[in-house]
Amino acid sequence: MTVIDVNEADFDTEVVQRSAELPVVVDFWAPWCGPCRQLGPVLEKAAGAREGAVVLAKIDTDENPSIAQRFGIQGIPAVKAFRDGEVVAEFVGAQGPSQVEAFFDGLVPSETQLLLEAGDEASLRKVIEKEPANVAANFALGRLLYRSGDADGALDRLRDAAGSFGADGLAARIELERSNGEHPRIPDAFGKLDAGDPEGGLDILLDELAAAEGDNKERLRKVIVGVLDELGVEHPLARESRRRLAQALY
């Protein structure tokens, strides 16, 4: 059973001992707690998606105060994950579905997460078949299709990766590569990026952005933002590149 109710009498058996076999996530809650009622179905959905690879144990703190005291519960909802009898992860307060999924993925990856980690075309298409709007899968598949030479297929997938700077940047790159040669240095910039030289590639793109107009200016902005997003804010190039980006735009 994926979801069970536990109490003070069976807590050690159902949670502590069972966690030697598979992870057990404990939901400390109470009937009067509004955030608990919001979080409960989210936890149950995440546990159910892992098909018996993790157990969700629910314990009413009002009816089982000694367990709440034993584990230092001061506010609810409180969630603790047990493995081999020890608490290995926890959070307090209501969380959204994406945060809860990430919490469970740290214990037992979902089928979707495993397919995303596999990263091959067949696996990514399985994710999209189940979750057509999955941003990570659409972006990853779009990137695979682009690298294989299927730019049209890539654009189809990238349109379903709304909100991803990387996806927007790759779509803009494809559009720039199809332009009529207004920016002859851009292929050299893309070549440097592909060769592992982000500094050289960004330098050219930022120069071209400063001189660009209209649609191409917006496309160049998206490409640059996508590259910076992939590098991360801590990358040495980030601060100077963002300064030049702002300067070219404003």
pLDDT of residue 112: 86
pLDDT tier at 180, thresholds 50, 70, 90 = low
Are residues 43 and 95 in contact, defined by beta-carbon separation less than 8 angstroms? no
- Does residue 51 sit in helix, strand or coil? coil
Gyration radius of the chain over CA positions? 24
pLDDT tier at 179, thresholds 50, 70, 90 = confident
Instruction: Give the pLDDT mean for 13-26.
Output: 94
Active site residue 33: yes
Percent of the chain exceeding pLDDT 70 equals 99
Residue 108 predicted with pLDDT over 80? yes
- How far is Cα 170 from Cα 142, in angstroms, rounded to an integer? 9
Those residues whose C-beta lies under 8 Å from the C-beta of residue 235, and which sit 6 or more positions away, are 198, 228
Are residues 40 and 27 in contact, defined by beta-carbon separation less than 8 angstroms? yes
Active site residue 36: yes
- How far is Cα 222 from Cα 193, in angstroms, rounded to an integer? 15
pLDDT of residue 233: 86
pLDDT of residue 1: 56
Those residues whose C-beta lies under 8 Å from the C-beta of residue 177, and which sit 6 or more positions away, are 151, 186, 187, 190
Give me the chain's average pLDDT, please: 92
Say which of 6, 36, 115, 205 is annotated catalytic: 36
HEC letters along 77-127: CEEEEEECCEEEEEEECCCCHHHHHHHHHCCCCCHHHHHHHHCCHHHHHHH
pTM for the model stands at: 0.69
Which residue type is seen at 95?
Q
Category of 214 on φ-ψ map: left (φ > 0), alpha (ψ -120 to 50) or beta: left
Instruction: For 125-147, write each residue's pLDDT tens digit.
Output: 999 999 999 999 999 999 999 99
Instruction: Give the pLDDT mean for 194-213.
Output: 92
Residue 223's nearest CA partner among 160, 185, 116 is 185
Domains of the chain, earliest start first: 3-109 (3.40.30.10), 112-249 (no CATH)
β-pairing, 3-5 vs 55-60, is: parallel
Place of tokens 């740290």: 106
**Tokens matching residue 137:** 């899968």
Category of 164 on φ-ψ map: left (φ > 0), alpha (ψ -120 to 50) or beta: beta
Say which of 33, 57, 223, 224 is annotated catalytic: 33
H or E, element range at 226: helix 214-231
